[in-house]
Structure 1
Amino acid sequence: MIQLMSVHFDHFIPNWRTQMEKIGHNVLVLVTEGKVRYDINGSEVVAERGELLYIPKSTRRSGENWAGTPHQKYTVLFNLDCELPTGVPFLDRKQFLRFRLAHFPYAQRRCERLYEEMRGSKSFRELICLGIVQELFGILSRELEKPEVTPMKMKYAQTVRQYLLEHYREPIEIGQLARLIRRSPNYTTALFKEVFGQSPIRYMHQLRVLEACNLLLNSDMTIASISQYLGYYDTSYFFRIFKKYSSMSPGEFIARGRPSDLSQLFS
């Protein structure tokens, strides 16, 4: 049984530091920007953006900004019923874990939603928060089952991903991405799927739809203008893509007007 205690969001806190102590709870840390240094049972651990740490109860732990530079992270504190197995392998082993998430953007949005829910007082808050935490445990457990990606493969995949993040509004073809890493188009697609769970082109469309959602809610641009801005010169095609990834039309999304729905676009 998981007992959620609290969720914290450290947003570039100057001189952040936590003293060495034997912690009386379990901790899940997702670093979203910068680096953070921990002492875990006498060993130095420097975690950076995209990495998740599981620090089990009774660990001797201290923490501080790495090299004096502030960082950003979500921290989830929780307890477990020690008498019963959870069915989550990394929790039941009760060992420190450090892992780089392939689906980091989605996990970050779920942590953001968890933090918002924990600070609110809406009905069924505890049920929703427990569901989000269980989902995060499931995502991590599933990724831990996969064969480890080699550093070179991760470097290639990150190179392609960074290019997509910077150029998603432009026309992009697989051959173009393949040339970035000097590999074949088939290899590039397979590699990206292995690391991020989807093809580069699908990821590009998701980035466009996410930006479309932001513009629909926070700008006075027309749907046709947004379509052109995002590189969809056929508005009807933009409508089809938007509905494919959001399960609703642009007009329906505007009518609902709930930014929290954005987390469902990347699953």
Structure 2
Amino acid sequence: MIQIISVHFDHYIPNWRTQMEVLGHNVIVLVMEGKVRYEINGEEIVAERGDFLYIPKSTRRCGENLNGSPHQKYTLLFTIEPGMDTGIPFLDQGRFIQFRLANFQYAQRRFERLYEEMRGSKSFRFIICLGIVQELIGILSRELEKPEVTPIKMKYAQIVKHYLLEHYREPIEIEQLARLIHRSPNYTTALFKEVFGHSPIRYMHQLRVLEACNLLLHSDMTIAGISQYLGYYDTSYFFRVFKKYSAMSPSEFITRGSQSDLSQLFS
């Protein structure tokens, strides 16, 4: 049985430091921004944005801001019932892991929800939190089983992803993305899906819908205006896309507001 001890969000803490200690619990870390320096059983480890760390119980560990620059990260502390065989290799083996998640945004949103639930007072929150922790562990386990992506593939995929992040409101075609890396459209789509788990066009729609959610809650723009702003010139098509990725219409989302769980956008 997994027992959650606490969840922390370190938000650019000046002079952040943890003293050397032998851990009496397991730790999972997701670095959001900046870099963190750890000493793990005598070995120096530098973790940066997108890194997922598992630090097992009984590890000798200390940590600090790298070169004095603050960082942003989520940290989960938990224990496992002694002698329990979880069936999760990295948990049962009790070994340190540093891993770059392909689906970083989804893990980020799950940590955000976990952090919010742990600080809430709603009924059944501990059951919900345990489910999120189990999901995060499952995500890491599944990604560890994938064949390692070669550096050149990761480089090409990141080029395409960066372009999408910068231009997602504009009309985008696969042929256009393929020209960025001088490869065929089919290769570009397959490569992006291998690295990130979904196609470039799906990722573009995810980015648009996330921005739509933000505008629906925090602007006075109309639904039709948001549709146009995000590159959907047919409002009915925008409604269909929004419902596909959020499981509700824009109007329903406005009604539910910030209580909506949008983690499915990156599932």
* TM-score, structure 1 as length reference: 0.98
Report the 3-state secondary structure (helix = DSSP H, G, I; strand = E; otherwise coil) of the residue aligned with 1:258: helix
User: Which is worse superposed, 253-262 or 42-51?
Assistant: 253-262
Matches within 5 A, 1:120-139: 120-139=120-139
Partner residue in 2 for 1:89: 89
Counterpart CA distance in 2 for 1:251 and 1:114 is: 26
Gaps of 5+ in 1: none
Q: Which amino acid aligns with 2:20?
A: M
Counterpart CA distance in 1 for 2:246 and 2:109 is: 16
Partner residue in 2 for 1:26: 26
Indicate if the aligned counterparts of 1:113 and 1:260 stay in contact, CA closer than 8 A.
Answer: no
Partner residue in 2 for 1:186: 186
Matches within 5 A, 1:228-239: 228-239=228-239
Counterpart CA distance in 1 for 2:56 and 2:123 is: 30
Counterpart CA distance in 1 for 2:35 and 2:195 is: 22
Indicate if the aligned counterparts of 1:213 and 1:262 stay in contact, CA closer than 8 A.
Answer: no
Report the 3-state secondary structure (helix = DSSP H, G, I; strand = E; otherwise coil) of the residue aligned with 2:67: coil
Q: Which amino acid aligns with 1:123?
A: S
Cα offsets for 1:181-207 (capped at 9, x unmatched): 111111110000000110000100111
Report the 3-state secondary structure (helix = DSSP H, G, I; strand = E; otherwise coil) of the residue aligned with 1:257: helix
Counterpart CA distance in 1 for 2:129 and 2:260 is: 14
Report the 3-state secondary structure (helix = DSSP H, G, I; strand = E; otherwise coil) of the residue aligned with 1:45: strand
Matches within 5 A, 1:83-122: 83-122=83-122
Q: Which amino acid aligns with 1:170?
A: E
Determine what percentage of the aligned residue pairs are the same residue. Answer: 81
The Cα of 1:121 is off from its aligned counterpart by 1.6
Counterpart CA distance in 2 for 1:149 and 1:200 is: 17
Cα offsets for 1:237-257 (capped at 9, x unmatched): 111111111122111211222
Report the 3-state secondary structure (helix = DSSP H, G, I; strand = E; otherwise coil) of the residue aligned with 2:18: strand
Cα offsets for 1:75-130 (capped at 9, x unmatched): 00000112110111111110000100011001011101111111112111110110
Indicate if the aligned counterparts of 2:253 and 2:260 stay in contact, CA closer than 8 A.
Answer: no
Indicate if the aligned counterparts of 2:29 and 2:52 stay in contact, CA closer than 8 A.
Answer: yes
User: Which is worse superposed, 255-264 or 220-229?
Assistant: 255-264
Report the 3-state secondary structure (helix = DSSP H, G, I; strand = E; otherwise coil) of the residue aligned with 2:202: helix
Indicate if the aligned counterparts of 1:53 and 1:96 stay in contact, CA closer than 8 A.
Answer: yes
* TM-score, structure 2 as length reference: 0.98
Report the 3-state secondary structure (helix = DSSP H, G, I; strand = E; otherwise coil) of the residue aligned with 2:70: coil
Counterpart CA distance in 2 for 1:140 and 1:179 is: 32
Partner residue in 2 for 1:265: 265
Cα offsets for 1:151-191 (capped at 9, x unmatched): 11111111111111111000111111111111111111000
Partner residue in 2 for 1:8: 8
User: Which is worse superposed, 34-43 or 238-247?
Assistant: 238-247
Report the 3-state secondary structure (helix = DSSP H, G, I; strand = E; otherwise coil) of the residue aligned with 1:67: helix
Report the 3-state secondary structure (helix = DSSP H, G, I; strand = E; otherwise coil) of the residue aligned with 1:165: helix
Q: Which amino acid aligns with 1:173?
A: E
Cα offsets for 1:40-74 (capped at 9, x unmatched): 00111000000000000000001000111110000
Matches within 5 A, 1:111-260: 111-260=111-260
RMSD across aligned C-alpha pairs, in angstroms? 0.9
Counterpart CA distance in 1 for 2:191 and 2:115 is: 33
Give runs of ≥4 in structure 1 deviating > 4 Å.
Answer: none
Counterpart CA distance in 1 for 2:259 and 2:226 is: 17
Q: Which amino acid aligns with 1:246?
A: S
The Cα of 1:260 is off from its aligned counterpart by 3.9
The Cα of 1:259 is off from its aligned counterpart by 4.7
Shift of the 260–65 alpha-carbon distance from structure 1 to 2, 3 Å rule, reads farther
Gaps of 5+ in 2: none
Report the 3-state secondary structure (helix = DSSP H, G, I; strand = E; otherwise coil) of the residue aligned with 2:62: strand
Counterpart CA distance in 1 for 2:126 and 2:5 is: 11
Partner residue in 2 for 1:70: 70
Matches within 5 A, 1:39-58: 39-58=39-58
Counterpart CA distance in 1 for 2:97 and 2:126 is: 26
Counterpart CA distance in 2 for 1:247 and 1:112 is: 20
